Structure 1
Amino acid sequence: MDSLSSLFTQVIADSGLQDLLQRLPAWLALDERQLIFVLATPVFIGVFVWEYLKIRHDHSLVDTRESVRNFMLGAGYQTTELLFAGLIAFPVHALAYQHRLFDIPLTLTSALALWLLTDLCFYWMHRSSHRVRWFWAAHVTHHSSERMNFSTAMRQNATNIFNGGWLFYVPLSLLGFNPVWIGVCYALSLVYQFFIHTTVVGKLHPVIEYLFNTPNHHRVHHARNPGYIDTNYGGVFIIFDRLFGTFTSERADQPIEYGITRPVYSNSLLVNWLHEYRDIARDMRQPGPLGQRLQHLWRPPEWERPEHKD
């Protein structure tokens, strides 16, 4: 425990935020990404109220009870992140940082590089969250709404911290970026992404649409239409989708249908958080070789075992 505490202290000292962060409990100070997200939540609520007043008469765009539930789902996510991220994710980041390959000081250039690299890590984490069923079990909650509005951004899974998606960012600590600043970039990325969950903003200037993830691009990402599924994974930027072949635009002949291909209609927070884990366990219990049963964890969500012939 002493060695872990010293790791925490060293990382905080190297971040340059020692005076600020040491006023908080160590485990809480280290989850600065959620602190930023929590502080931004009143802004999120205010922006949602503005949007709600514009679209409240269209039930296909917003439902008051669902919106309240979305914020409750988000509160559960924030709670588990605040309680456990500093105890689960940060020790791994701190250990990687202790064995870092380079000492990377915080400068304008390194900050811009970290911002871009954080978004690259987000791209692969997000893509894996759609193509690896274990990660999808946590991410599916975010996609299960059949409406697109600012409250949908808050529709998150309380199991995220236990699911392991944060591992995609550990290479940045190993490279030599301070974990505190990685967390700051990640949190600011989440803040940006809140504002692309809306239907009240149309297409922006072509240059912006080419470089950045916009409401237009993200509406496509939330679609369950066959031609739109598993596209536009970007966080702040859309350039990685263009680079890795996962970008697509909305087509006039295919209006977006929001939601997931296997809808789950429940008002229960627990059902919304846990239904895909339940389905994975059900599929793994089916008779068959152990190797094939385990594949339900890392195969795509739609994968089915091949039939065995005696």
Structure 2
Amino acid sequence: MLEEQGIAIVDRDRNGVDRAFRGDVLKGLRQRQKAVPARWLYDDAGSQLFEEITFLEEYYPTRAETEILTARGAEFAELIGPDRAVIEFGSGSSVKTPLLLSAIEPAAYVPLDIAGDFLREAAAALSAKFPQLPIYPVEADFMRETALPDEVADMPKLGFFPGSTIGNMVPRTATDLLRSMRATLGNGGGGQRPLLLIGMDLIKKRRVLEAAYDDARGVTGEFNLNLARRINRELDGTIPVDRLCHVARWNDDDARVEMHLMAQGDLSFTVAGESFRMSAGETIHTENSHKFTRRSAAMMLQAGGWSPVARWKDEKKRFCVILAEATEERGAP
């Protein structure tokens, strides 16, 4: 059952502009290496384009993770147990969510997403599949600690963060997010510590990685360019989108695929009344997709306050889903 009183806590000014979006864009464009945090790629249009990306031949992560979620349902149920409130961070269209909900018999489902219209449409579709399940959509920036609906306050909780979105962040930001998730989920209901089920992509051949973020049809390029269009639309920008191009490249030192918007000539434009310039070949860094080993994944989770409990890989060992438990507070080793 879809509860219509979803909590919208996005901070907007009197003109309806998301203050955090404007602040991040202006701060990022002032930097020597221009950059905008990847979460701003996901407005309603961006979220729809990303859903199209997940069906592309080159983009293996969705298929690999879906394989795990489909094949391991019984193991999830045994380790997670029934009657938890599932809190999905950055839920998008919730395509993978039914696989989890069908396996673990949850007490409630709370999708968190910054794209409000997309969130509500996805929540309504999911409610039709699970008519007896209370669903409380919350429009929020999941990167920050979020107040959950009162109805789930006393329930034990499972955070769900599929898709290897954690890889979009530099390690410091990813660690902060994991800590923020820990704070959002609280200390657990019924004496049960919160759990987190999270997807992480694994290191593999360069050609496979770069193709996944630069597909032959150009859908990922449109997804990237949509960020510039959003800036123009929401922040009174004058970025010449037709003079930008999408670039994806593997950075071996940092174990990540990087996405950039590259200027195809010298550019001048304004955003929110502020002037900017780009030289030919200069880029706006828009997304990282870090890839992990078993050790680097465990280290990041532990730094963020989570202890790995179980791990699963797809048959081709391309992708990993990890179940982690909130780490008990300790004053010493």
TM-score (norm 1): 0.28
Which structure dedicates a bigger proportion of its chain to strand?
2
TM-score (norm 2): 0.26
